[in-house]
Every structure is written in C-alpha cells, then in structure tokens.
Amino acid sequence: MVSTALVKIDQTPSRQVGLYELFYQRDKRVYACMEHMYRKWLALPDVVDVGIRQRIHELLRSLYFEWAIAGLYQLSFAGAVHKIWQIRAMGDSYGMILFILLSRAVRKLKAVIEQFVVFDEKLR
C-alpha cells in the first residue's frame, strides 16, 4: 500500500498539453515513451512465450512505421530515415518498407478523398 500519490495528474480542462493532444500532434515524446515501454517488455526475462514476444516485436515495428510517417508529415526527413533504418534492422527489406509506406499513403489519400466527396454531397 502506498500512503502518498505517486504522480500528480493535471486534469485542468484548460491545460496546454495533455496526453491526447500529444498523440494527436504526433509528438515524438509519445513515440519515445512507447518505444521505451516495448523495449522494456522485450527485455523482461519472464516474457518467454514466443507468441507474446512476436506480438511485442510487431507492435514496436508498427510504432516505427508510425514514427517514420510522423517524421515525414513534419518534414523531419532525418528522423524518418532513422526510423526506417530501425525497421530495416528488424528484418524488413527496403522494398517492403517502401511498399508498406506507400500502401498507408494510398489508404490515407482514399480516406481524404472520401471525406471530401461526402462533404461535397452535403453541400449540394
């Protein structure tokens, strides 16, 4: 039992930066914290189940893709390239990485176009 609070959480609605805002802004601090968490999980000696380790590894890989995409959105090309190198170190070929990045870009473009079409139809 802990007699004092371990952390103080600011729940003020007018606060400048909250966790949700950091996620929405694709803040690198969020990605860094998640990377740290996944790497810590992989380092745990108790995590011996191959399925669990593979799932954590896949989560880390997916995080690197999201981080690389965020870097591209923010025109931080060095950061994006660094994350692509980390994905490559996890076993993906550059061709596969490019394919995944392009497929995500196409999905995003389709979603934007669909939103535009729906918005345009509402205006008519």
What mean pLDDT comes out for the span 28-44? 90
Contact 84, 97 (CB under 8 A): yes
- Domain assignments of the chain as residue spans, ordered by start: 20-123
Instruction: Write down the pLDDT at residue 64.
Output: 95
Q: How confident is the model at residue 7 (pLDDT cuts 50, 70, 90)?
A: low
Q: At what angle do helices 77-89 and 50-73 cross, to 10 degrees?
A: 160
- Is there a contact between 67 and 74 (Cβ–Cβ < 8 Å)? no
Asked whether the whole model's pTM tops 0.85, one would answer no
Q: Looking at residues 65-83, what average pLDDT do you find? A: 91
Q: Which residues contact 116 (CB under 8 A, 6 or more apart)?
A: none
Q: Does residue 123 surpass a pLDDT of 90?
A: no
Is the pLDDT assigned to residue 111 strictly greater than 80?
yes
**Sequence-distant (≥ 6) Cβ neighbours of residue 30 within 8 angstroms:** 19, 22, 23
The more confidently predicted of residues 21 and 54 is 54
Q: How far is 78 from 63, CA to CA, in rounded Å?
A: 17
- Helices 50-73 & 28-43, crossing angle to 10 degrees? 160
